[in-house]
Amino acid sequence: MEGGRVGEVLGVWRLDRLIGSGGMGDVYHAQRIDGVVEQSAAVKILRALRDRASPDEATLLRLLIHTNIARHLADGWTADGHRYLVLEYVDGLPITAYADQNGLSVHERLELFLEVCGAVEYAHHHLLVHMDLKPSNILVDRCGSVKVIDFGISRRVEAQPMTLPCDPFSGPYSSPEQIQPGSKLGYPTDIYSLGAILYELLSGHEPFNPSVSVAELERQIIEQNPSRPSHVIGQPKLKAGSDGKYFRLDPEAIASMRGNCRVSEARRLLAGDLDCVCLFALRKEAVRRYQSVEDLQFDLQRILAGRSPAIARSGDAVHSVLRAARRKPVAPLAVITALVVTIAGLLTFNVFSTGIQVSLENKRHSDQAMEATLLEMKEQLWPQLGSDPSWGSSRAAVEAVMKTSTPAPLLTLSEQFRVVFSFSAPKVDNGSK
């Protein structure tokens, strides 16, 4: 029964109040009572009875020692056979609520989100997928420090992607492969959830409406693409208050929580690059998203530096080439070399082809000039040929030459001049001397 364990002592911890309850178990605030040190903790008691075949959250948490992950302090078994874990107590708010209450600007929200990415990347380096990332599992304490909590359904990634043995549902932060039975899960599953958290952190809206039925929400996650964050930030939102009642949040109020922006300014800050990054992380197909948290961090750091995201803007093909180049740099080098040789060959062929065209064009102009010259000579010599009957045979030869439309290919330049000038040379009569 919820809260029924208040006052119970587990090891050196006494449970003093219930602070949370979920599908996996109940979470109590506890105080250390051995007198060694004053310390508070969160004690999570699982509902399932002893089952040593199931993955042990305590075993997984022992691997994770990171500033932004709630520390594992102890674990054990209750007298009635339930597993309990003693975890670092985080007195904080969900990351989205913290950012809104403190009026963080878009720039500050990105810096805070990068701390989350660092924690998730650390878990992935230890082959651990969280699989339940959502704002309520990412707390920010009063000092502004991020803590990722609740690795209750996390799994280790072995050689092959895994299927999920249980049926968790994190609402609009669940990836399509977590909803579709038999889908393979892996690091992109967490990356989708990170994209959904970033989407809400920036726009004030979840990527899909959480107020619809579970069946409809699942359908939207599988079939529909979310709108751009820069578009939805201009829409009102129904938000649940601390008393469980909903109230309407106007677009102006949502924008003012982001560094006291106006709606138009908030849209301008989100439009383009941040839209692109969010939607890239939220792609339906796992293979088309960011393939590592490091890639997501890389793009966000570029945006913070005033540059465009390299991976989300590059498209799938270029992204694949860049990733392949990092893994096997020799193969891309061979491809680049082949491309350079091919381009150089085409340029060389183009140069020679251009030279041949120029030569042919020059020859054509030369032939046209020669034809004009021959016609001019014909006009000058024809009266002389006509007055001398002894040159009749020569005149016929000249007419044959002049009638051709392309004299240059038939006779060389010197031959054509020799034919013309031989007719105009004066005759010498040796017998008259």
DSSP state of 168: -
Strand partners, 15: 30
**What CATH number did the domain enclosing 283 receive?**
1.10.510.10
200 with 297, same domain? yes
**Domain-ending residue, one of 89, 115, 148:** 89
95 with 74, same domain? no
181 with 302, same domain? yes
Domain membership flag for residue 51: yes
The total number of structural domains in the chain stands at 3
Distance of alpha carbon 332 from alpha carbon 325, whole angstroms: 6
Q: What is the largest distance, in Å, between two alpha-carbon atoms of the chain?
A: 156
339 with 263, same domain? no
Distance of alpha carbon 346 from alpha carbon 185, whole angstroms: 47
Q: What is the pLDDT of residues 50-76, one digit of tens each?
A: 655 455 778 888 889 999 999 999 999
Domain membership flag for residue 428: no
CA distance to 177, 204, 242, 320, per residue, from 253 (Å): 35, 10, 18, 41
Cβ-contact 28, 37 below 8 angstroms: no
Confidence at residue 368, expressed as pLDDT on a 0 to 100 scale: 73
Within 8 A by CB and 6+ apart from 227, the residues are none
The mean of the pLDDT values for the chain is 81
Domain membership flag for residue 433: no
323 with 266, same domain? yes
Q: Which residues are known catalytic residues? A: 132
Within 8 A by CB and 6+ apart from 1, the residues are none
349 with 212, same domain? no
Cβ-contact 398, 407 below 8 angstroms: no
Domain limits for position 368: 334-420
Confidence at residue 199, expressed as pLDDT on a 0 to 100 scale: 97
256 with 296, same domain? yes
Within 8 A by CB and 6+ apart from 45, the residues are 5, 25, 26, 27, 28, 78, 82, 83, 84
More confident residue, 402 or 306: 306
Measured on CA atoms in the order 372, 377, 380, 381, is the torsion positive or negative?
A: negative
Cβ-contact 278, 195 below 8 angstroms: yes
59 with 70, same domain? yes
**Domain-ending residue, one of 46, 62, 89:** 89
- As given in the structure block, the two tokens for residue 199 are 């989407």
**Domain-ending residue, one of 327, 351, 371:** 327
Whether 14 has a pLDDT exceeding 70, the answer reads: yes
Share of the chain above pLDDT 90, in %: 50
Domain membership flag for residue 426: no
247 with 112, same domain? yes
Domain membership flag for residue 429: no
**Mean pLDDT of the region 107-119:** 96
Residue 319 in 3-state DSSP? helix
More confident residue, 107 or 342: 107
**Mean pLDDT of the region 325-329:** 57
pLDDT band at residue 155 under the 50/70/90 scheme: confident
Residue 333 in 3-state DSSP? helix
Whether 323 has a pLDDT exceeding 70, the answer reads: no
253 with 313, same domain? yes
E-assigned strand segments in 71-225: 72-77, 82-88, 92-94, 128-129, 138-141, 146-148, 155-156
CA distance to 264, 311, 342, per residue, from 260 (Å): 12, 30, 56
**Mean pLDDT of the region 313-329:** 57
Whether 273 has a pLDDT exceeding 50, the answer reads: yes
Which of 22-36, 193-207, 295-309 is least confident? 22-36
134 with 254, same domain? yes
Domain membership flag for residue 56: yes
Whether 421 has a pLDDT exceeding 60, the answer reads: no
Distance of alpha carbon 14 from alpha carbon 319, whole angstroms: 52
Residue 26 in 3-state DSSP? strand
Which of 233-237, 334-338, 388-392 is least confident? 388-392
**What CATH number did the domain enclosing 26 receive?**
3.30.200.20
Distance of alpha carbon 401 from alpha carbon 415, whole angstroms: 11
Q: What is the pLDDT of residues 331-341, one digit of tens each?
A: 667 767 777 77
More confident residue, 417 or 371: 371
Other C-beta atoms closer than 10 Å to the C-beta of 11 total 16
DSSP string, 186-239: SHHHHHHHHHHHHHHHHHSS-SS-TTS-HHHHHHHHHHPPPPPHHHHTTS-EEE
Backbone angles phi, psi at 388, to 5 degrees: -115, 100
**Mean pLDDT of the region 29-47:** 91
292 with 352, same domain? no
Cβ-contact 146, 201 below 8 angstroms: no
Q: What is the pLDDT of residues 169-203, one digit of tens each?
A: 678 999 999 998 888 889 999 999 999 999 999 99
* Max avg pLDDT among 174-183, 225-234, 306-315: 225-234
